Amino acid sequence: MQITELIVYTSNLKTQKEFYCNTLNIPLNSESEDHIEFVIGNSVLTFKYKSDSKPYHIAINIPSNKEYEALAWLKERVIILKYFDEEIIDFINWNAKSIYFYDADKNIIEFIARKNLKTDTSVTFGVDSFLEISEIGVPVNHISQVYNSLHDTCDLGVYFGNFDKFCAIGGERGLFIVIDKNNKNWFPTNDKAFASEFKVNILTSKQQYSMDFSKGVLTIV
């Protein structure tokens, strides 16, 4: 599964534009009075204006061997969100290492180096090292309902977790991070997980799907 386009919402278009353009140095792909759009490797990230928007969790894949360069690059630009004293968090079960930070909306953004993907490079880390959006958080009341819909319609399986509190559905290039919002908050900050609305287009080995997450329900449209 690949996330080809992710549309999220912000009440602060101007500050988000400044953050992504000036802090992360991502070129602006398009904009209007009510949206800004960026190309993140193989994915498109769009922010649309919404007065009552809530924070998200979004992950971006980086080359498999670049977590230390990514950390140095980020520390020149943002405050790193640590887990205890760790700036780079080792997910042994996933064979991956992650770095977390906030954007201007306090969305939790994650750079993740997935060793299994073998995307090593000798190129110095920079904005061109953002490979794709690989995760979007989906806080719900019943994880199993989301899984059943994604599995039955899109043939997506469980990558890691279960239907209790946390379930990652999809693959290493694209995951729905589905959590029980009543029993789990966001890692590593313990921020409250809101059922923040989004739209997403994904590509599987079979076809492309468009989805809408609204009022805590993920609908395949």
Q: Left, alpha or beta for 106 (phi > 0: left; psi -120 to 50: alpha)?
A: left
178 within 8 A of 147, measured Cβ to Cβ: yes
CA distance 159 to 157: 6
The structural domain count of the chain equals 1
The tens digit of pLDDT for each residue in 195-213 reads 999 999 999 988 999 999 9
What's the distance, CA 37 to chain centroid?
A: 15
Question: Long-range CB contacts (< 8 A, 24+ apart) of 47-52?
Answer: 47/7, 47/8, 47/9, 47/10, 47/13, 47/16, 48/7, 48/8, 48/9, 48/10, 49/9, 49/10, 49/11, 49/13, 50/9, 50/10, 50/11, 50/197, 51/11, 52/11
Q: What is the pLDDT of residues 90-138, one digit of tens each?
A: 999 999 999 999 999 999 999 999 999 999 999 999 999 999 999 999 9
Asked if 70 and 89 count as a contact pair (C-beta separation under 8 A), the reply is no
Question: What is the SS3 assignment for 167?
Answer: strand
Residue ranges making up the domain that contains 84: 2-220
Non-local CB neighbours of 211 within 8 Å, separated by 6+ positions: 199, 200, 201, 202, 218, 219, 220, 221
> pTM for the whole thing?
0.97
Structure tokens, 36? 């800004």
State the CATH number of the domain containing residue 106. Answer: 3.10.180.10
- Per-residue pLDDT tens over the stretch 27-84: 999 999 999 999 999 999 999 999 999 999 999 999 999 999 999 999 999 999 999 9
